[in-house]
Amino acid sequence: MTTNNPNFSENMLSVEEARNNILEMMSVLNSEHLPISKSLGHVLSEDISSIINVPPWNNSAMDGFAVIASDTNGASDVNPVNLNVIDSVYAGDMPNSKVSPNTAIRIMTGAPIPEGANAVVPFEQTNETQQKNTHQQLNTISILKPVKENDYIRFCGEDIKSGDNIFTKGTILRPSEIGVLATLGFKDIPVIRKPKIAIISTGNELTDIGEPIELGKIYDANTYSIATSVEKYGGIPIIIGIARDNEESLNALLDKALEYDILVTSAGVSKGDYDIVKNILSQRGNIEFWSVNMKPAKPIAFGWINKSKTTKLPLLGLPGNPVSAMVAFEQFVRPSILKLKGYTKLNKPSIQAILKNTIKNEDGRRMYIRVLVKKEGVDYYAEATGNQGSHVLTSMAKANGLAICPENILEIKSGQTIEVQMIDWHVDDL
């Protein structure tokens, strides 16, 4: 490093070292009770067991006729077995009658199996369709194909038995888990709460969207890419605002961030202007300026602000260049959010893809290349999305992944395989 600042580490940290240092400061948040409709992506904070059977009683898997299976023996198109239809039962009702030999009860999918019946003959195996066509309500039905005992019956407790442990603490709630919880009648459940992430952009040049732009100024992109990334990974973004490059302004905004779980700032951590951040943070907490062996996003700041004598607000200072901020977010903020939410798998999913263009890594840092991954046949192909300057955010917008050229590998040739961290999976070509 060519710097005399003692707060700059002499050696570069690896991405893993930086991430581990950050994650060490992050601990799982407390839990709360939430309506299940608000629980998507949350982690269960207690085991859940069932106090009911699912299904709650034996019921029909088809629209058809509840019968005694042996009554249908030998039934065929040419030799149908005729049964007396004595009643009908719909989903939501209870049967009023009992099936006895040579009788049948018309039954709808999900309706309880009447006493005496031990199988269901689906409409398709009867002359029901012909009856429907003629709008006749016949009281006999012709069975055209035999059924065996238990055919088309869904049994009590087949899915879940009362007393079963359904989900353990730590389960991530997806729509399927939420559906199961609803099946069991849960209205509210105990989950780890979502972290609230305070976001501050820094820089005299920044203008908030919606404001008129003056000469020399640019719009603040990072606040919005960071806030929506927070949302994407299941945190709650809290936009605090733009801090100007002076101590009063930054101090005032820091005060507003104190009540949240992590503070993410952007810019002000590169050599040009970190002094302000450093001065304030050394009075109000602690900060280290790291040089991480990655490209983009080499300068990262990490530390904390004292909230009280015993509690600290972790602070992650991302670089200002918009692509650097987003790449650093993926590597450091995303796993932090996930850890706070109680997730244990913190790595970004990655795939192996065949490179469509040669990548040169001149200074041998770990390089994250914006690529568009497409599936062609059985293989994934990755193509760089153009200008890889850390200020060129449109090449991030065109990408669905970050290809990783490892440290000290100076070139990966077109046609060779490369690891790609997937940022998005829902792209038409995949």
User: Footprint of ligand AMP on this chain (CB under 6 A)?
Assistant: 201, 203, 205-206, 218, 220-223, 266-268, 270, 272-273, 319-322
Enumerate the β-bridge partners of residue 32. 191
Please choose, from the candidates 391, 405, 401, the residue with its C-alpha nearest in 3D space to the C-alpha of residue 427.
401
User: Which of ligand AMP, Mg ion, none is residue 220 near (CB under 5 to 8 Å by kind)?
Assistant: ligand AMP
Asked if 388 and 324 count as a contact pair (C-beta separation under 8 A), the reply is no
Cβ proximity to ligand AMP, 206 vs 367, nearer residue: 206
The answer for residues whose C-beta is within 8 angstroms of residue 425's C-beta and 6 or more apart is 400
Cβ proximity to Mg ion, 125 vs 266, nearer residue: 266
In the complex, what is the shortest distance from the CB of residue 172 to Mg ion, in angstroms, rounded to a whole number?
38
In the complex, what is the shortest distance from the CB of residue 59 to ligand AMP, in angstroms, rounded to a whole number?
58
In the complex, what is the shortest distance from the CB of residue 250 to ligand AMP, in angstroms, rounded to a whole number?
12
In the complex, what is the shortest distance from the CB of residue 203 to Mg ion, in angstroms, rounded to a whole number?
4
Q: Whose structure tokens read 């299940």?
A: 36
In the complex, what is the shortest distance from the CB of residue 292 to ligand AMP, in angstroms, rounded to a whole number?
14
Distance CA 385, CA 369 (A): 8
User: Which of Mg ion, ligand AMP, none is residue 321 near (CB under 5 to 8 Å by kind)?
Assistant: ligand AMP
Six token digits for residue 13 = 């940290």
Q: Look up residue 285 and give its amino acid.
A: G
Per rule CB under 5 A, is residue 203 in the interface with Mg ion?
Answer: yes
The answer for residues whose C-beta is within 8 angstroms of residue 21's C-beta and 6 or more apart is 13, 302
**Of 42-50, 74-82, 264-272, 422-430: span binding Mg ion (CB under 5 A):** 264-272
Q: Look up residue 9 and give its amino acid.
A: S
Residue nearest to ligand AMP (CB): 320
Q: Whose structure tokens read 């012709």?
A: 142
Q: Whose structure tokens read 């719009």?
A: 219
Six token digits for residue 167 = 């989900």
Does residue 101 have a cis bond before it (omega within 30 degrees)? Answer: no
User: Which of Mg ion, ligand AMP, none is residue 292 near (CB under 5 to 8 Å by kind)?
Assistant: none
Q: At what angle do helices 274-284 and 247-257 cross, to 10 degrees?
A: 50
Asked if 332 and 13 count as a contact pair (C-beta separation under 8 A), the reply is no
User: Which of ligand AMP, Mg ion, none is residue 291 near (CB under 5 to 8 Å by kind)?
Assistant: none
User: Which of Mg ion, ligand AMP, none is residue 222 near (CB under 5 to 8 Å by kind)?
Assistant: ligand AMP
Q: Whose structure tokens read 């820091």?
A: 254
Q: Look up residue 27 and give its amino acid.
A: S
In the complex, what is the shortest distance from the CB of residue 322 to ligand AMP, in angstroms, rounded to a whole number?
5
Per rule CB under 5 A, is residue 114 in the interface with Mg ion?
Answer: no
Query: Of the candidates 267, 371, 396, 403, which one interacts with Mg ion according to CB under 5 A?
Result: 267
In the complex, what is the shortest distance from the CB of residue 366 to Mg ion, in angstroms, rounded to a whole number?
24
Q: Whose structure tokens read 């005729």?
A: 82
Cβ proximity to Mg ion, 243 vs 294, nearer residue: 243
**Of 32-40, 67-75, 126-134, 265-273: span binding Mg ion (CB under 5 A):** 265-273
Cβ proximity to Mg ion, 114 vs 203, nearer residue: 203
CA-atom Rg of the chain in angstroms: 31
Q: Whose structure tokens read 């002094």?
A: 275
In the complex, what is the shortest distance from the CB of residue 222 to Mg ion, in angstroms, rounded to a whole number?
11
Q: How many of the other CB atoms lie within 10 Å of CB of 234?
A: 19
Residue nearest to Mg ion (CB): 203
Cβ proximity to ligand AMP, 107 vs 200, nearer residue: 200
The residues binding Mg ion (CB under 5 A) are 203, 267
